[in-house]
Structure 1
Amino acid sequence: MANEKKKMGLIPKLIIAIILGIIVGTQLPAIVTQIAVTISSNFGKFLNFIIPLMIMAFVTKGISDLSEGAGKLLLATAGLSYLSTLVAGSASYFMAKSIFPSFISKEMAADITEATGRSLEAVFEIPLNPIMDVTSALVLAFMMGLCISILRQNGSGQGFYKLVNEFSDIINMVLEKAIIPLLPLFIFGNFANMAYSGSVFAILQIFVKIFVCIIALHLIYLVVLFLIAGTYSKKNPFASFKKAIPGYLTAVGTQSSAASIPVNVECNKKIGVSKQIREFVIPLCATCHMPGSIITLTACVFTLLHMYQMPHSYALMIKFIGILGIAMVAAPGAPGGAVMSALPFLPVVGIPSDGPLASILISLYLTQDSFGTAANVAGDNAISMIVEQVYYKHIVKKPIPVEED
């Protein structure tokens, strides 16, 4: 139609937001950046309020939609996610041990801490808190979804099932009308602040080699994960990876796996994963599949241990990685959630959880958090491709449903 206007896609909007954020943070007066930070911070408050509701809506509906094998599907998804996280953490350790000792030094720590200490605070923040934390929402969603699924198999539970579906429709409406359209504004504020503080440039100048190694391992791990998923599901792994890019870029800007759920569900749809599986696996994996974050955390912790000549054997680090694979379930929902979840467990590797080394770890991690989160989000698509095959071939033993456009 001649009168139809072609809308700009999400990817161009995200790229424009990142570029404008860097320009504003480096070229305009601080008050302009602070206004952007204030808007972004308050939107982040609203986003954090929505995230537990999003998990409740999507995960509960995803499990309750399953007519059979709900518990097995949950176990398969969680098991694959945990295995992926362990493998990613181990790969990060051996990469860091092989490469990092040649170029890391103690002087780097002071430089990074100084750069990240110049961030601007919001002028004001609306006192809006989530009605529950992410872990509580996830456990409640599991319980409700499994019980509704069992009730439906026994011929009851239709009232609750209808309520869950309508609640899911409400959350979808909020995402479509408010969250997704405002994501570029959120990203703009984040990047303006990072550019103003100089933390982005500090990490590129001081830790550029470590940064490149971590990002390279993220990408290598994702390629391997998609190759495995594509081979098993008989989908083109490279085409599937390409279709996951919008979710990756969204996560780079939001620094939150959970905040990227709506975009990533759409990516999963384009990959060709069935509706039932994608609406269950993507929200669930956003809370329990953290390969990118564990790669970044493991590499950062190794850097500190080596920098200060502390023990850093694989036997020690695998304990830390194994604990984090579970502890990081509480990480989604806010930038830096993974490193905050890791702090109570730093004594496992000999780092005090509230000392200067922990502060350096937070600074080092946060400068790379965007890319770790993006790897988490992109990897969720590969997990869903595998889970779909496991569920339909081995659990319910039915053909995968073909979705009409």
Structure 2
Amino acid sequence: MKLVKAYNSVSLIVRILCGLVIGAVLGVAFSNLSVVALLGSIFVGALKAVAPVLVFVLVISSLAQGNDKLDRRFVTVIALYMASTLLASVVAVVGSFLFPQTLVLSQAAESDVVPTGVGEVLSNLLINMVANPVGAIVEGRYIGILFWAVVMGLAAKRVASDSTKKLLEDLSNIASLAVKWIINLAPFGIMGLVYENVSTNGLSIFTDYGKLLALLVGCMLTVALVVDPLLAAIILRRNPYPLVFRCLKESGLTAFFTRSSAANIPVNMELCEKLGMDKEMYAVSIPLGATINMDGAAITIAVMSLAAANTVGIQVSFVTALILAFIATLGACGASGVAGGSLLLIPMACSLFGVNADVAMQVVAVGFIIGVVQDSVETALNSSGDVMFAATAEYSQWKRAGKSLPTFLGGTTKVDI
């Protein structure tokens, strides 16, 4: 028990950084420590398993006991999610024109599900939305989980008894506590994930596709450190960087290694609680953000599609590229409902320029190769943005209501730091 108390007395971020360093050292020194790699798989598996249940019961409980209607915070957060994703696409287009990339293509990727147009992407999204709710929970399809949780939560508000509402609240508290226990073991999971990445991939990924990775990561950092903070500053009329850096540190760091927005939902929920946010609000906005706030995916789709066009010698006008930005935004919002995520939406975007499917799937293969870095940064950007924009909408409501902002934003309200 003394050892457990000593472990818990250290900041979680410090523990995660220690796990990161230990994992990297072990990855360089040893190549076959399967037990260490297993820790990472167990951690991500546990988060992915509990996250759908957590989201489902939290949303139902929050809506069943909440106010009669969703207030303007939800309008604000949805607008921020969509504006950020669109601007991320534009940043990717501008970056690709300033630093055009070509690819060396060899082997095509294979997939059973490759959308060929925006209509198919949106169709998949709508079909997944109304899929069997039990199946959605089992398979982790968050658009379906969120849709049915909202429907059932609103229905429970109208017909459920007080004892039933109390049961829903107890279930959400049980799921939340289970998640806290899992997150507390994150340092061991991060150690395993870092070890597996370092021991398997080494540093060759940076030399083979260095320029393409630099463009992708550069665009994502521009969005994370310039575009998103600018949107938050417009809404809050405050210096947003204390909030930005806090979200990157506590949400982006774990998302970088888990490489799963779904797995990071519990982490974001806990961060929202620390930030003093309304549970009724973030219980809906965080899983919604994991579905439609897809800045990194939009950047990946736009950059890789333009690189494909450059590779086969197709001249793309800037106006056509801006149309690509819009398509990438719509496609990114549907990425979570498509097997394989954002990479499998590249052929859809390539079709805008007339790039044939064989070439497009070879570009997808390149995407899988660099995914160890690209997908990590993409997920960190997406997940940290979910919390930042939810907090921005929440704190803007505080200002309108005459409530002081948190101390780290220049106010007087104390929150857990």
1:181 aligns with 2:184: yes
SS at match of 1:309: coil
Asked if the contact 1:43–1:186 (Cα under 8 Å) also holds between the matched residues in 2, the reply is yes
**Aligned AA for 2:138?**
I
Instruction: Answer yes or no: is 1:317 the counterpart of 2:318.
Output: no
Could you tell me how far apart the structure 1 residues matched to 2:150 and 2:315 are? 39
Asked whether the equivalents of residues 51 and 265 of structure 2 are also in contact (C-alpha less than 8 Å), the reply is no
Whichever residue aligns with residue 148 of structure 2, its letter is L
Q: Which one is further off, 64-73 or 163-172?
A: 64-73
- Given that 1:112 and 1:203 are in contact with CA atoms closer than 8 Å, whether structure 2 keeps it comes out as no
Aligned to 1:126: none
Q: Supply the AA of the counterpart residue of 2:327.
A: F
Q: Determine if contact 2:89/2:326 at 8 Å carries over to the other structure.
A: no
1:140 aligns with 2:148: yes
- Amino acid of the structure 2 residue aligned with 1:265: M
| Separation in 2, partners of 1:227, 1:55 | 29
**Inter-CA distance 366–404: structure 2 relative to 1 (3 Å threshold):** closer
Distance of aligned partners of 1:205 and 1:41 in 2 relative to their CA distance in 1, 3 Å threshold: same
Aligned with 1:68: secondary structure? coil
Q: Cα offset for 1:291?
A: 1.1
Aligned to 1:57: 57
Of the candidates 206, 209, 232, which is equivalent to residue 207 of structure 1?
209
Q: Distance in 1 between matches of 2:211 and 2:24?
A: 22
Q: CA separation of 1:319/1:88 partners in 2, compared to 1, >3 Å: closer, same or farther?
A: closer
Specify the alignment match of 1:239 in structure 2. 242
In the TM superposition, residue 180 of structure 1 has moved relative to its aligned partner by 0.5
Q: Which moved more, 1:317-326 or 1:80-89?
A: 317-326
TM-score, reference length from structure 1: 0.77
Contact conserved, 1:81 with 1:383, CA < 8 A, in 2? yes
Query: What amino acid does structure 2 have at the position aligned with 1:306?
Result: N
**Which amino acid counterpart does residue 243 of structure 2 have in structure 1?**
S
Give the alignment partner of residue 103 of structure 2, picking from 103, 106, 125. 106
Quick one: percent identity of the two aligned structures? 21
Shift of 1:172: 0.7
Following TM superposition, by how much is the alpha carbon of 1:175 offset from its aligned partner in structure 2, in angstroms?
Answer: 0.7
Matched-pair contact (CA < 8 Å) for 1:301–1:361: no
2:364 corresponds to: 358
Determine the C-alpha separation between the residues in 2 that align with 1:343 and 1:183. 33
Match of 1:373 among 374, 379, 383: 379
The Cα offsets for residues 308-347 of structure 1, whole Å up to 9 and x where unpaired, read as 334653155235313313312437xx9x64435x367456
Distance 1:314 1:243, change over 3 A: same
Query: Is the contact between residue 297 and residue 332 of structure 2 (CA under 8 Å) also seen in structure 1?
Result: no
User: Mapping of 1:6-405 within 5 angstroms?
Assistant: 7-28=9-30, 30-32=31-33, 34-70=34-70, 74=74, 76-99=76-99, 101=100, 104-107=101-104, 109=105, 131-132=138-139, 133-149=141-157, 151=158, 157-177=161-181, 179-198=182-201, 201-223=203-225, 224-244=227-247, 245-310=249-314, 312=316, 313-314=320-321, 317-330=324-337, 337-340=341-344, 342=345, 345=348, 348-349=351-352, 350=355, 352=357, 355-388=361-394
Given that 1:294 and 1:321 are in contact with CA atoms closer than 8 Å, whether structure 2 keeps it comes out as yes
- Structure 2: distance between partners of 1:69 and 1:318: 34
* Number of equivalent positions: 370
CA RMSD of superposed structures (Å)? 3.5
Identify unmatched segments of 5+ residues in structure 1: 114-128
- Residues 231 and 237, structure 1, Cα contact 8 Å, conserved in 2: no
8 Å CA contact 2:235, 2:396 repeated in 1: no
Mapped to 2, the partners of 1:69 and 1:143 lie a distance apart of 13
d(CA) in 2 for partners of 1:141 and 1:111? 42
1:222 alignment partner AA: A
Shift of 1:10: 2.0
Contact 2:193–2:257, Cα closer than 8 Å, also in 1: yes
User: For the Cα contact (< 8 Å) 1:392–1:398, is it kept in 2?
Assistant: yes
